[in-house]
Amino acid sequence: MEGHYIMCSPLLNEDKYSNWKMRMKFFVQTFDYGAWKVTTRGPFEVPKEEERRDANDKAKAQQTTNATHILFCGLNG
């Protein structure tokens, strides 16, 4: 059961927001450090059409998607 806990983002508890915030920070950084940049600075701008994106553009788009997914999991449970 311990492995399952490691793979799940912390769930938001309104009474313990500060604790959740700190745990989410470390969880996001562990999962994808670039996603933490997205969480704190906002999504990366990837202006090109999807079929014209280079590897760097795709990596930025993936980090934005990862950050969004992790936050949804932490908020929705």
The predicted model scores a pTM of 0.71
Q: Which pLDDT score is estimated for 7? A: 64
Q: Which pLDDT score is estimated for 5? A: 46
What's at 68, amino acid-wise? Answer: T
Long-range CB pairs of 19-25, under 8 A, 24+ apart, other chains included: 20/74, 24/70, 24/71, 24/74
Q: How far apart are the first and last CA of the chain?
A: 17
Instruction: Give yes or no for a contact between 9 and 44, defined as CB atoms under 8 angstroms apart.
Output: no
Cβ neighbour number for residue 48 with a 10 Å cutoff? 10
- Give domain limits for the chain: 2-76
| Tens-digit pLDDT profile for residues 1-59 | 344 445 677 888 778 888 888 888 988 888 888 889 998 998 888 877 878 888 998 88
